[in-house]
């Protein structure tokens, strides 16, 4: 498979691992890169820029293939040294940065000066157009199906990808709701030149999360997610459990939701310690997409990527033979 994405990032297949908080660590990123995709370390999973340097070095010991670093830029009560995180990645030789959240424009000159490629995650066509305008090399377009933050427009990838492709000249990566080779082929036909998968890579042997979480994804179907924070205009798709249901109920009752009432339920530390690490999938918030309905096993990253590439080729041959 050769697209502008494979050529830009120096990878064999146009398959990118999502930069997931607490999950985008060296074990998973290296496994994805070794299998021919692009693994992604999540910068803010590391408490300091120096710890990110250590994680990059650890990943480099596990793979000699390209991998990237995700930096999600969001408002925070405690200031985050985004510039220092980027500097750590660049000085360690990382050549691909995935940005998300806010406009990455102020970081572009520094990254360009160091020959770093930038892919920005967007949930709307207008944001993708803006990303191209400020100098991003590619965009990852997130449909409403995705885990985490799907934006506020509620547009699925079946519409979002071709709408973006009609207005952009830089390559598009389809993100959200993808777990199979046939979906990858479909995304390519819609105008994408690569795919980004988060939830599907969580349910792999190398993902650094508790087995109970992986098994919960296998056992669940496409209806087992819910949307929180709609009342705050900060929608997030998460696993439907006791805690997320309680959050949605509080939002439904309140005219103006008080985040202080929700905070003990949705604290990231709670989700990490009790769910991702502890294995109690019902006692915290954890993000996952509707794509759970298509996840029925826990393979290695190598097996998953090989299977998807074979499925994509077969799907293209079979479907195109109908015309």
Quick: pLDDT tens for 82-140. Answer: 999 999 999 999 999 999 999 999 999 999 999 999 999 999 999 999 999 999 999 99
**What average pLDDT does the structure give for the chain?**
96
Q: What is the pTM of this model?
A: 0.96
pLDDT of residue 254: 67
Task: Work out the percent of the chain whose per-residue pLDDT is above 70.
Answer: 99
pLDDT of residue 255: 67
Quick: pLDDT tens for 219-247. Answer: 999 999 999 999 989 999 999 999 999 99
Query: Phi and psi dihedrals of 174, rounded to 5?
Result: -80, 130
Q: Tell me how far apart the alpha carbons of residues 264 and 151 are, in angstroms, rounded to a whole number.
A: 23
pLDDT of residue 321: 78
Mean pLDDT value of segment 52-76: 95
| pLDDT at residue 77 is higher than 80 | no
Q: Which domains does the chain have, with CATH numbers?
A: 4-206+300-320 (3.20.20.70), 211-290 (no CATH)
Mean pLDDT value of segment 20-37: 98
Provide the token pair at 86.
């980027």
Q: Cα angle at 284 between 26 and 55, to 5 degrees?
A: 15
User: What residues form DSSP beta bridges with 140?
Assistant: 121, 173
Q: Tell me how far apart the alpha carbons of residues 108 and 136 are, in angstroms, rounded to a whole number.
A: 7
pLDDT of residue 133: 98
Q: Mean pLDDT lowest for which of 32-36, 65-69, 71-75? A: 71-75
Q: Tell me how far apart the alpha carbons of residues 148 and 7 are, in angstroms, rounded to a whole number.
A: 28
Q: Tell me how far apart the alpha carbons of residues 141 and 125 are, in angstroms, rounded to a whole number.
A: 8
Quick: pLDDT tens for 151-199. Answer: 999 999 999 999 999 999 999 999 999 999 999 999 999 999 999 999 9
């Amino acid at each position: 498979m050769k697209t502008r994405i494979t050529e830009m990032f120096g990878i064999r297949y146009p398959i990118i691992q999502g930069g997931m908080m607490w999950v985008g660590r060296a074990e998973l990123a290296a496994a994805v890169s070794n299998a021919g995709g692009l693994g992604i370390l999540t910068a803010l999973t590391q408490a300091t820029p120096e710890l990110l340097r250590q994680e990059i070095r650890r990943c480099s010991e596990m793979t000699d293939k390209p991998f990237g670093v995700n930096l999600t830029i969001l408002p925070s009560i405690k200031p985050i040294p985004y510039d220092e995180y980027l500097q750590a990645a660049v000085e360690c030789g990382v050549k691909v940065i995935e940005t998300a959240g806010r406009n990455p424009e102020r970081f572009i000159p520094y990254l360009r000066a160091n020959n770093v490629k930038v892919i920005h995650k967007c949930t709307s066509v207008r944001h993708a157009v803006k990303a191209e305008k400020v100098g991003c090399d590619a965009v990852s377009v997130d449909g409403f199906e995705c885990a985490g933050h799907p934006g506020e427009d509620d547009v699925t990838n079946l519409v979002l990808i071709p709408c973006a492709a009609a207005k952009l000249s830089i390559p598009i990566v389809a993100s959200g709701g993808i777990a199979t080779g046939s979906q990858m082929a479909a995304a390519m036909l819609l105008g994408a030149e690569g795919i980004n998968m988060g939830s599907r890579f969580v349910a792999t042997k190398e993902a650094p999360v508790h087995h109970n979480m992986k098994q919960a994804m296998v056992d669940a179907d496409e209806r087992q997610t819910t949307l929180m924070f709609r009342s705050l205009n900060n929608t997030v798709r998460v696993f439907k459990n006791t805690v997320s249901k309680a959050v949605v109920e509080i939002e439904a009752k309140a005219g103006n939701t008080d985040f202080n009432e929700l905070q003990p339920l949705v604290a990231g530390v709670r989700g990490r310690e009790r769910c991702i690490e502890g294995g109690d999938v019902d006692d915290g918030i954890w993000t996952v997409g509707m794509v759970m309905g298509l996840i029925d096993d826990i393979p290695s990253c190598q097996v998953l990527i090989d299977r998807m590439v074979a499925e994509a080729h077969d799907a293209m041959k079979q479907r195109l033979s109908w015309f």
